[in-house]
Chain A
C-alpha cells in the first residue's frame, strides 16, 4: 500500500483567489493522479502527473485552471486558480501500487 498525505485538509476561500494543494507520498511513484469529487457526486479524474513532464489533463480540465507541479517522485501540487463557487469540492490525489490505486484523505474546498 501507500500512505498519502494532503495539505490543507480543508479551506474556505474567496471567489477569484487561488489555492495550492500539496500531496506527499511515502514512497516513490511514477504517476500521481488528481481527482475532484463535487458534493454528493462520484470522483472525476482531473489529470495525471508524471515526474519530469507536463501533466495530462482530462476532457473538461485545463492547465490554466488547474496547474500541476511534479518536482519529484514523492510530491505533487494542484492549484485551483481563479476560484468560483462551482469549484467547491473535495480534491484527492492518488497513486498506483501494482495496479491497486490508493487515495489521500482529500482536501475539502469551499469557495464563497
Chain B
C-alpha cells in the first residue's frame, strides 16, 4: 500500500510555538500534498511538493521531502489558534494514466492560546 502514515496522531502546543508533523509512505510517488481540515469540514489544499523537490515554502508553512527515506514533514512556524485543525498528507501516484491520492491518517493539531 502507498498509504501515508502520520506522526504524531495528535499534537498540542502553545500559540507562537512551531508545530512539526511527519508523514511516511511506502512506494514511489509523483508528488505529495498536505491538506488542512477544520472540524470535519472540507479539505483545504496547503502545498504540493514534487518528487524531485526537497523543500518548499508557503507563508508560515515549510514542507520537506526525503524520497530516500520516503518521508515528508510539515512545519508550521509561529502557530496561531486558527491553525487548530487536522492535517493530512496525501501521496500521489499514477495508475493507468490517472493521478490517485492516498491519504494518511492525519495529525490533529491543537494550538492553545
* B 39-67 contacts with A by CB, 8 A: 40-45, 48, 50
Q: Are A42 and B105 in contact (CB under 8 A)?
A: yes
Say whether B30 faces chain A, with CB atoms less than 8 Å apart: yes
**Range class of the B interface residue count:** 20 to 34
A43, A100, A105: the one within 8 Å of B45 (CB): A100
Known contacts A31-B98, A42-B88; decide if A103 and B103 are in contact (CB<8 Å): no
**Range class of the A interface residue count:** 20 to 34
Majority SS of interface residues in chain A? strand
* A 18-52 contacts with B by CB, 8 A: 31, 33, 37, 41-45, 48
Q: Which residues of A contact B (CB under 8 A)?
A: 1, 31, 33, 37, 41-45, 48, 90, 92, 94, 96, 99-106, 108
Q: Which residues of B contact A (CB under 8 A)?
A: 30-31, 33, 35, 40-45, 48, 50, 88, 90, 92, 98-106
Chain A to chain B contacts (Cβ below 8 Å), 23 pairs = A31-B98, A37-B40, A41-B105, A42-B88, A42-B106, A43-B43, A43-B103, A44-B103, A45-B100, A92-B42, A94-B101, A99-B48, A99-B50, A99-B92, A99-B99, A101-B33, A101-B90, A101-B101, A103-B42, A103-B43, A105-B42, A106-B40, A106-B42
